[in-house]
Amino acid sequence: MSEIEFLNWVRGPGFQIAIIIFIAGVIIRFAEILLLGRNKNLAEAKGSEMSSGLRTIVTRSIPDKETFRRSTFTLVAGYIFHIGLFVTIFLFAPHILMFKDIIGFGWPALPTPVVDAMAVVTIIALLAVLVHRMRDPVLKFLSTREDYLVWLVTIAPLITGYMAFHRIGTTAPTLLAIHILSVELLLIILPFTKLMHAFTIALSRWYGGAISGYRGVES
Amino acid sequence: MTNDSIKDKTLGEVMRSQGVSRRSFLKFCAATASMMAMSPAMIPKIAHALESARRPSVIWLSFQECTGCTESLTRAHTATLESLIFDYISLDYHHTLQAASGHAAEEARKAAMDENWGKYILVVDGSIPTLDMGYSTIAGISNLDMFIQTAAGAAVIISVGTCAAYGGIPHAYPNPTGAYSVYDIIKQYGKDQLDGISSATLAKVGKGSVANTPIISVPGCPPIPVVITGVLTHYLTFGTIPELDHLGRPKVFYGQSIHDRCYRRPFYDKGLFAETFDDEGAKKGWCLYKLGCKGPTTYNACATTKWNNGTSWPIEAGHPCLGCSEPDFWDGGGFYKALSMPTENITQTAIYTAAGAVAAGVALGAMNKSKKNDAVSAHSETTINDLEK
Amino acid sequence: MTEATIPVTGEIKFNIQFSNELTQNVKPLLHEIKHALDALIETGKTGIIDLRSIPLASGEEDKILNTLGQGEVLAQMNTLGLSEIVETQYAGVWLVTHYNDEGNIISRFIEITAMPEILCSQTEDILSAYSRITEILD
């Protein structure tokens, strides 16, 4: 297989396979959560589920002082790499072209040097959270193999993307193909791991808030 | 075309006998160094090497091709200087350019081969069909037979054009003729994987001798004329093959991507793109990435060598690079699809998958509904096990 | 400095590029010339820049040539087509342009030297000249 054949495969059939697994995976996971559900709570409600649930979706984005003091690093690094991922995935011109090709519309991009800098910051933040995870005894104890896998498939597209943009290591077609392949790996793994939180975050926050609302306590 | 009187002279002697001064020769070498993207410091070395070079025999075979490569070569823009080289090489067989035809032409090829066995340069343009030997023949000889016979005595093989270098358009999906590149044919021959070679050829040609012949690929559709002559000049100058990349291309010409040498690169870096062929961005000369430019994955010398007497090149004329010097450029999902776009119809795939998955989800939910109803009527307690769901 | 000061023979102009922000290679190249001139002064080391090896948009080469301008020497060499060897307004910086028979530029160098090599009489040509003049006198 020549490098251009490899590139054509990841842009074509490879991408198709990844999209099928990704979409089917996400929908089935949602069906599992929404339709299988839990048994009906027969206890009497002491407050509103809906308003507490909706409020929690927003309030959980802002850490309270005590949480911030205890987990400053996790919160700051976490915010940085999440924003960084958003910028590099959704505001880089070639990526927007890809979305436009699939969903039919696009949006303005950030200047390439900004995205480039953001990618570096994101990579550093992700490396830092890994070091933190491995050095903190409690975090290390709690970490499973899945946590490391999830970290790897998240940082891989960033590193391969950075290398493809700056042409580091090998030829451009191979670098681009490896980058796309790493994204496909991410798409395939996402629905079946913790990465699913990208889709379920609102839902799970709502659920947490709703439980508290039902019990009439603050969430 | 053989000229016995100059056959054994060096290029320097030939030129001096024709009244070409050393100063003219230096000018020629300066142009050559510039053309071959060599450091100007190499000029004295080129001068010395070329002055003592001896006249080589060149056999040019055209297989499944469109003659575009020959058209390109005969328009080499440094014609006056290259004519020095071309007058100097002995082009013993080229069925488009030679005057002889039929048996006389084939005799010329055989004579050149016998006389220069092991020393001649074999230039190939076009890919070689392998499914049916009748798909392409010259003088009743199949392309495969003619290639193997001629390659056996070549000192070096130069694959001119994308078809000879990678299979090109004949090789594009679904490759109806089973077309292969020169490199693939040599490799398959070495492994004894080729059917259809005549027993006469097999009897004449040993396997090992062909497998070790160096191959220089000069891809492009067509290749830049001065790149073709540059490779020949390099071989004449140094008697060696130039440094090649992983696809067998000379690094001096194919060492950098179109994107890296593109004068529109600053616009890519700034994120300024032409969205259509006639918008404001196109008029301002912005980057053509969104219009499908394959510059980032294409290695060639167009950006600095340019075309038509150095006048312009596709991107300067406002058209994205097609990637013609890369393998399988014809199968890349469309010339006007940006590199970051998927080549298949992903929207359709996504919709079908979503529909299927939703249906499956609903079915599963329905199956579970009765279980939940049972739980309510039985007044069963929610246990820690339920939270695991 | 007007464009007419540098003779441009038969160059075909084809340019749909109107923007001012091009490759930004003009300034660095002029700086390179300055450094080469400095090296020539300090160590006597000559330098040579192949203009065709640098990605330039149409118009940028003219911009460089206009900045360098034309100095005191303009030599023409008539062999294998015309060649022009021009000392720019900065002594020690030469512009060497080779044309083919059809008047198209085949190569263009900026040389930083007291005297471009190609202007010097070549040993081989001097030897041949000696034998020719000897023939006449015999």
Looking at beta carbons, which residues of chain C come within 8 Å of B35?
52, 106-107
B283, C18: Cβ pair inside 8 Å? Answer: yes
**pLDDT band at B216, cuts 50/70/90?**
very high
What's the pLDDT tens digit per position in B59-91? 999 999 999 998 888 776 554 445 656 666 778
State the smallest CA–CA distance between residue C42 and chain B in angstroms.
20
**pLDDT band at B389, cuts 50/70/90?**
very low
> According to the model, what pLDDT value does residue C53 have?
73
B260, A167: Cβ pair inside 8 Å? Answer: yes
User: Which secondary-structure segment (H or E) carries A154?
Assistant: helix A145-166
Any chain C CB within 8 A of the CB of B284? yes
> According to the model, what pLDDT value does residue B37 have?
67
Which residue in B341, B343, B365 is closest to A31 by CB distance? B365
Which amino acid, one-letter code, is at B220? G
Cα distances from A63 to residues A60, A74, B159, B168, C52, in angstroms, run 6, 11, 65, 59, 59
**pLDDT band at C62, cuts 50/70/90?**
confident
Residues 6 or more apart whose Cβ sits within 8 Å of residue C9: C82, C84, C99, C103, C105
> According to the model, what pLDDT value does residue A81 have?
94
Looking at beta carbons, which residues of chain B come within 8 Å of A171?
245-246, 299
What's the pLDDT tens digit per position in B182-196? 999 998 888 888 888
B284, C56: Cβ pair inside 8 Å? Answer: no
Q: What domains are there in chain A, each with its CATH number?
A: 3-38+59-215 (1.20.950.20)
* d(C-alpha C55, C-alpha C69), whole Å: 21
Nearest to B358 by CA among B370, B366, B346: B366
* d(C-alpha B40, C-alpha B154), whole Å: 32
Q: What is the DSSP letter of B331?
A: G
> If you measure CA to CA, which chain B residue comes closest to C17?
B285
B270, A38: Cβ pair inside 8 Å? Answer: no
User: Where does B152-221 have alpha helices with state H?
Assistant: 161-166, 168-171, 182-190, 199-204, 207-211
- The CATH number of the domain holding residue C107 is 3.30.1370.140
Q: How many CB atoms lie within 10 A of CB A118?
A: 21
* d(C-alpha B219, C-alpha B228), whole Å: 9
State the smallest CA–CA distance between residue B373 and chain A in angstroms.
9
Nearest to B104 by CA among B92, B114, B116, B115: B92
> Which CATH superfamily is B4-254 part of?
NADH:ubiquinone oxidoreductase-like, 20kDa subunit (3.40.50.700)
Looking at beta carbons, which residues of chain B come within 8 Å of C128?
16
B339, A94: Cβ pair inside 8 Å? Answer: yes
Rounded to the nearest integer, the mean pLDDT of chain C is 79
Token representation of residue A53:
């649930």
Which residue in B326, B353, B386 is closest to A20 by CB distance? B353
Task: For an interface test with B, give the residue of A5, A10, A20, A99 to mutate (most B CBs within 10 A).
Answer: A20
> According to the model, what pLDDT value does residue B60 have?
93
What's the pLDDT tens digit per position in B234-247? 887 777 888 999 99
- Percent pLDDT > 90 in chain C is 36
User: Which secondary-structure segment (H or E) carries A28?
Assistant: helix A13-31
Beta strands in chain B (DSSP E): 57-62, 90-94, 120-125, 137-138, 141-142, 154-160, 215-218
Please state which CATH number belongs to domain B258-331.
Answer: 4.10.480.10
N-term to C-term CA, chain B: 86
* d(C-alpha A96, C-alpha A88), whole Å: 10
C54, B24: Cβ pair inside 8 Å? Answer: no
Token representation of residue A178:
């490896």
Rounded to the nearest integer, the mean pLDDT of chain B is 84
**pLDDT band at B122, cuts 50/70/90?**
very high
Subunits adjacent to chain A (3 or more Cβ pairs under 8 Å): B
Nearest to B29 by CA among B86, B87, B90, B85: B85
> According to the model, what pLDDT value does residue B80 have?
47
Window C:26-55, CB contacts with B under 8 Å: 48-50, 52-55
Looking at beta carbons, which residues of chain C come within 8 Å of B317?
16
Touching, A vs C (3+ Cβ pairs under 8 A): no
Any chain C CB within 8 A of the CB of B368? no
Instruction: Write the DSSP string, B295-324.
Output: GGG-B-SHHHH-BTTTTB-TTTTT-----T
| Bridge partners for C65 per DSSP | none
* d(C-alpha B296, C-alpha A4), whole Å: 12
> According to the model, what pLDDT value does residue C19 have?
42
> According to the model, what pLDDT value does residue A162 have?
96
Token representation of residue B50:
């070329």
Identify which has the larger pLDDT, C36 or A219: C36
Beta strands B120-125; B154-160: pairing state = parallel
Rg over CA atoms, chain A? 20
How many structural domains comprise chain C? 1
> According to the model, what pLDDT value does residue B45 have?
79
Profile chain A (219 residues) by mean pLDDT over runs of 10 residues: 87 94 93 73 78 81 83 90 96 93 91 93 96 91 93 96 92 94 96 92 83 79
- Percent pLDDT > 90 in chain B is 39
Give the count of Cβ contacts less than 8 A between chain A and B: 156
Token representation of residue C62:
């003219």
Containing structural domain, residue C34: 3-137
> According to the model, what pLDDT value does residue C17 have?
38
What's the pLDDT tens digit per position in B330-340? 888 889 999 99
Per-residue pLDDT averaged across B123-144, rounded? Answer: 93
Per-residue pLDDT averaged across C45-73, rounded? Answer: 84
N-term to C-term CA, chain A: 56
- pLDDT at C107 exceeding the cut of 70: yes
Any chain A CB within 8 A of the CB of B275? no
Any chain B CB within 8 A of the CB of C131? no
**pLDDT band at C5, cuts 50/70/90?**
very low
Looking at beta carbons, which residues of chain A come within 8 Å of B329?
4
A40, B361: Cβ pair inside 8 Å? Answer: no
What's the pLDDT tens digit per position in B17-58? 777 788 888 888 888 777 766 777 778 777 887 777 777 888
B347, A104: Cβ pair inside 8 Å? Answer: yes
Identify which has the larger pLDDT, B375 or A30: A30
